[in-house]
Amino acid sequence: MNEEIIKIPQATAKRLPLYYRFLRNLHNSGKQRVSSAELSEAVKVDSATIRRDFSYFGALGKKGYGYNVNYLLTFFRKTLDQDELTKVALIGVGNLGTAFLNYNFMKNNNTKIEIAFDIDPNKVGKKIGDVSIYSLEELETRLISEDISVIILTIPAEVAQRVTDQVTTKTNVKGILNFTPARLNVPSSIRVHHIDLAVELQSLVYFLKHYPNDTEIS
Ligand code: ATP
């Protein structure tokens, strides 16, 4: 990582994949430049925030020209490690886990679910798409041999901490995308992003009811 990348604030870093996806589509359709207003409309982030975000990566839009799509794409690809494949494992092949295994993450970025784990003997040994499902007994050894750095957790909340402890003490896992409602304790070297779909839905319903005309606060 170079110094420029380290200076990017976390809130900006979180928006990078969103920008990246949109710019890639623009690039594929042959567009070479884009204004902050166009970007703002497409990604639903206000244009002042976009200008500030982009200034962190040295992309200074020119008045009447906008931003150079190729320059931004090269930067994003480098920053988001798009040239390097991140290997992901999924633990818990229930309804949500199965949906993720069927979803092609490679479409938009360079991450791939390589293997999956479950305790259900009816699922172990099967494949969903091209992803094999292994027993939890093989968790540590497979995570190490497959060089997995990211885990998606779609197991019941009650077992989430126990499985997390297994993953974080003996493997090279650096990040966990936690879809369980459990709040996980992890060593400081591990990063957890928590997505509780029930909470997100409830929060959307609350905002619709109480702030029906407001735009999203980013
Ligand atoms: P299903 O309908 O297949 O049971 P679900 O999403 O409704 O799925 P959950 O109870 O949330 O069911 O379990 C999700 C998956 O996690 C299941 O496939 C279950 O076998 C698996 N699972 C449960 N405990 C563990 C564990 N300790 N380690 C790994 N997988 C587990």
What are the contacts of 182-191 at 24+ separation with CB within 8 A? Answer: 182/157, 182/158, 184/160, 185/161
Number of Cβ within 10 Å of residue 164's Cβ equals: 24
120 Cα nearest atom in ligand 1: 20
pLDDT on residue 60: 65
pLDDT value, residue 107: 65
Q: 98 CA distance to ligand 1 centroid (A)?
A: 10
CA torsion sign, 117 to 120 to 125 to 129? negative
- Residue 176: Cβ within 10 Å count: 23
Digits of tens for pLDDT over the chain (218 positions)?
A: 444 444 678 888 888 888 888 888 888 888 888 888 888 988 899 988 988 888 887 766 666 678 888 888 888 877 776 667 889 999 999 999 999 999 877 666 678 899 999 999 999 999 999 999 999 999 999 999 999 999 999 999 999 999 999 999 889 999 999 999 999 999 999 999 999 998 889 988 988 888 877 655 54
Q: State the ipTM, two decimals.
A: 0.93
In degrees, rounded to 5, the angle at the alpha carbon of residue 170 between the alpha carbons of residues 166 and 172 is 110
Q: CB under 6 Å to ligand 1: residues? A: 91-97, 117-120, 123, 136, 155-156, 159, 163
Q: Would you tell me which CATH number, out of the four given (3.40.50.1240, 1.10.10.10, 1.10.1370.30, 1.20.1730.10), belongs to the domain 3-77? A: 1.10.10.10
- Superfamily of 86-199 according to CATH: NAD(P)-binding Rossmann-like Domain (3.40.50.720)
Q: Domains of the chain: which residue ranges?
A: 3-77, 86-199
Q: Which residues contact 108 (CB under 8 A, 6 or more apart)?
A: 17, 21, 24
pLDDT for 105 equals 76
Per-residue confidence (pLDDT) for residue 216, from 0 to 100:
53
CB 140 within 8 A of CB 170: yes
Q: In a mutational test of the pocket of ligand 1, which residue from 95, 152, 167, 180 has the highest number of ligand atoms less than 8 Å from its CB?
A: 95
Q: Nearest 5 degrees, angle CA 71-CA 72-CA 76?
A: 120
Which pLDDT value is given to residue 76? 80
Which of 14, 70, 59, 63 lies closest to 35 in space, CA to CA?
63
What was the pLDDT predicted at 82? 65
Phi, psi of 89 (to 5 degrees): -120, 145
Q: pTM of the predicted model, to two decimals?
A: 0.74
Are 167 and 176 spatial neighbours (Cβ–Cβ below 8 Å)? yes
Q: What is the pLDDT of residues 141-150, one digit of tens each?
A: 999 999 999 9
171: number of Cβ within 10 Å: 20
Quick one: CA torsion of 164, 171, 169, 173, rounded to 10 degrees?
-50
Closest-lying ligand 1 atom to the alpha carbon of residue 159: 27
